[in-house]
Structure 1
Amino acid sequence: MKLRHRGGVWFRCGIHEVHIGVQESFVPATKAHPGLYVRNIGGFRAYLIQNNVNIIEDDNRAEEGVNRFYLNDPFGNRLEFLERSSAPNTERFSNRVDTYVKYRPSYPEAAIDYLYNTIGFNENSVIADIGAGTGIFSRLLLARGSKVIAVEPNQAMREAAEKESGRDPNFQIVIGSAEATGLPDHSVDYIVCAQAFHWFDRSAAQLEFRRILRSGGKVILIWNSRLTSGTPFLEEYDRLLLTYAIDYERVNHKNISKETLLSFFKKDMLQEERFTLRQLFDYPGLSGRLLSSSYSPVAGHPNYEPMMNELRSLFERNNQDGVILFDYETQVFWSEL
């Protein structure tokens, strides 16, 4: 009763309490402020934006694995929301950019033709490349004359993309993620996610994609899916990864089921197409391709030396005239949301 007479109120949730009172000559707290750790900050951010809450992005601690933003409550007080990851997905490739640029495959020309001839891309399209990485896919779209906004959270990969395409007037690259692109509402005609969707918080990304797409806009998910059977090399290479890679099975994009994709897109509208792709590698190329993968142990890890020794043996057993055939199936999934 005494608290009520003073105009105050307490809120309790589990072990947490928030005490609110009335203060004369009130001045909003903009410097000293509470910081609240949350789970699924991407989904929370998307929910606030969808409900017209203005948020203030802050990536000053991104390299530490801290994802955070601010907002002001109705009285002008600053509130901070944070989520920490001990090994953020956005930083998995920071020490692999050079090998990624040199040894990762591009995408079949037939697949790019499909985007333009069937899905409807054209030179006037504004396309957001989400999780653009080093810009491999962005460059293929730029070559067709489209305007590309590359969204990438990893600084080292952004710098690589900027180095390759920064002089193209149709290219723009921004700091952002699938869950918080930072792009204006209804600003893009298409969204492409090449070799990236499996890293996203899918619920938060779905909300964000709906926000930035124009009416009738479409989302295209693309993977170069490495074949794991069909030749002795492909089967042995997959066994090598299962034996020595750190978290290969957990982060493999093939974990995404058809049911997951169906639930992401507009009901009964999911379209799918497939294409073939092949890389040819000598041994240095094959080792570079292996080490470009985020799940491959690096020098100094206990698995590194035995993995590389087995890779050499695998190459010696299977190469033809000093070359290994590294085969993929390029998968394209697309629809409206």
Structure 2
Amino acid sequence: MSAGPLDPTPLVVGVDGGGSRTRVLLADASGKVLARIEGPASALQPGQESLAADVIKSLIGEALTTAERTETRPAVCVVGVAGAGQERAAQALWSALAQRRIADDVSVQADATIAMDDAFGDSAGVLLIAGTGSVAYSKGPDGRTERCGGWGPNIGDEGSAHWLGRRALSVITAAHDGREPETALTGAILTALELESLDDIIPWAAKATPSAYALLAPVVAQVAATGDLRANALISFCVEELALHVRTLARRCFTDERAAIPVAFAGGLLARGSLVRKRLEQRLKSAVPGATIRSEEVDAARGAVRRARRLLGVEV
């Protein structure tokens, strides 16, 4: 492929890599989107940066094919992926992507960084991400940035889809023992996992990935909507954990939770109209009274394109 800077209309790429899917936007220097591609997850796992790089390279290739620009190498590619907040992981992914020559210039960022670019640009605010994992980032009026959560599936990610699915399994096994009341979650989860009995949960859980657990979150929400007490308790617990992320950052960057604070949501668990989002918005009215919820959807891949254009030298 010919080098991007030699092309009269250089291309930029924005990549949003999560634990459940990866989204790629191919755009020209003006920001016009030429292709949108979605594919497998590319969140970083220790020692598996090359696998993530292969996914990203493949999807960028699909985007170039869709835009009929297969002979052009993009000038700038900004990749925002879950797990890239750790410097070692980010550097390993950058090296893998550079070896694959996906663009003339490659920048690797945490997924929250590119989401913040789309949500607030250069302004202050708090961004809460709850998908397979969870994390919150904030930028204060003084430009200072803070993070809350994002400690990964083994010791953190409270309020995430993975966290919710894993706790749902604990609820149904406890109900089976008689330690908790019966719940409709049992039948719904066995059906969703296509398992015969609760005994089959043990081998399933031994092999399950965080994204597999995350697939159970919609099941919990569906059962909660029918009025099931245990499912509703799980949703309430989830909402409290997420509200705590926002309140913590409100106090760190905006003096306290009563200050005027722009708040944006991202991630599948907080999609517009979802049960968790509806209840979280209601909970924040008391937990963070100064919060003003951004109604527009946050598009992290679009934020990555914005950052790529800035690296190209375009004012955005």
The TM-score normalised by the length of structure 2 is: 0.29
Bigger relative contact order, structure 1 or 2, given CA contacts below 8 A and separation 6+? 2
Structure with greater Cα Rg: 1
In terms of fraction of residues, the more strand-rich structure is 1
Task: Give the structure with the higher percent helix.
Answer: 2
TM-score (structure 1 length as normaliser): 0.27
